[in-house]
Amino acid sequence: MNISTVGSSSELVSEFILLGFPCSREIQVILFVLFSVIYVLTLMGNGSIICAVCWNQHLHTPMYILLGNFAFLEIWYVTSTVPNTLVNFLSETKVISFTGCFLQLYFFFSMGSTECFFLSAMALDRYIAICHPLHYAIIMTGQRCFNIVIFCWVCGFLWYLVPVILISQLPFCGPNVIDHFVCDSGPLLTLSCAPAPLSKLTSYTLSSLIILLSFLFILISYGFVLFAVLQLPSASSRHKAFSTCGSHLTVVLLFYGTIVVMHVSPGSSHSTLMPKIMTLFYAMVTPLFNPLIYSLRNKEMKNALWKLLEKLKISVKVFPQQLQE
């Protein structure tokens, strides 16, 4: 593998090298196939949820509109890192340009921040639906749901903008090797050839705030939801509420379990492999399993996906007949 570093302190780095997963060529090819399969399955699973929400009138409710946006987000979340990782598996140089690296950093962290906002919005929606069912239609109107969606997207993409700008302005004189498969703020700050206390503080503070505040908000919301569910007189109502909220909580725990360790505890000692594994988990594994979790534990979504599959089967049968005519 041809890896070059910039040795002169007067020459600024114009590109970085993402080491990824250093291993033999055969293992790299196996990882390429594995990551490709995961990527395609993620696109198909989340794409199916988007199609089901768009095409099924019964799912045009705030809960499923938020879920559809969440699935759309997951597609772009994996797309911000996986295609470049796949290219690097087959590349000898594993080079990413300076601009490309910081664009990946911005979109990767922006998607992660947006995910925190959407998970909080979904928790708020379930809180209102279960704790204030009689006022749900009045509170969660179509316009308010639209405003929440816009708020999540805009705030998510603005949240980490300042740290990215600050880090991009740092001098990088070399070496230019990042021991990761994505451009992450931690390794980039380490590679800077000048002290950057403001950049480190801003990056750590904003990462910690979005993670901890959103997680705390979700836990409080579901604390109220759990209390309200236990008060329901009907066992079937309790089961339906637990089923709907259980899927959301599973996704929350999968996502936050790894990012808290990665971004809220920077002082803890990680091996060089551990950050990669944890990043893989919340950036690839979680988006892969989210459609399964939501569809298997949600009867309405399951029915909508079956109807979507039936429509696709009919379309496949009709299309050859139209070509023959």
Residue-wise pLDDT for 130-170, tens only, equals 889 899 999 999 999 999 999 999 999 999 999 999 999 99
- Average pLDDT for 213-241: 82
pLDDT of residue 318: 52
Percentage of the chain modeled with pLDDT above 70: 85
Q: How far apart are CA 269 and CA 263, in angstroms?
A: 12
Helices (H), the chain: 25-55, 62-79, 82-90, 98-131, 136-139, 142-159, 161-168, 185-191, 197-230, 235-263, 273-280, 286-296, 299-324
Q: Residues 55-68: pLDDT tens digits?
A: 888 889 998 999 99
- b/e per residue 196-230 (b: at least 16 CB within 10 A): beebbebbbebbeebbeebbebbeebbeebeebbe
pLDDT of residue 324: 54
- Confidence grade of residue 3 (pLDDT, cut at 50, 70, 90): very low
Model confidence at 314: pLDDT above 70: no
Query: Which pTM was predicted?
Result: 0.86
Q: How far apart are CA 122 and CA 126, in angstroms?
A: 6
For residue 97, the cross-strand partners are: 15
Q: Which residue has the higher pLDDT, 274 or 87?
A: 87
pLDDT of residue 9: 39
Q: Tell me, rounded to whole angstroms, the distance of Cα 321 from its chain centroid.
A: 41
8 Å CB contact between 90 and 265: no
Identify the CA nearest to 17 among candidates 203, 141, 172, 156. 172
Q: What domains does the chain contain, in order, with CATH numbers?
A: 15-312 (1.20.1070.10)
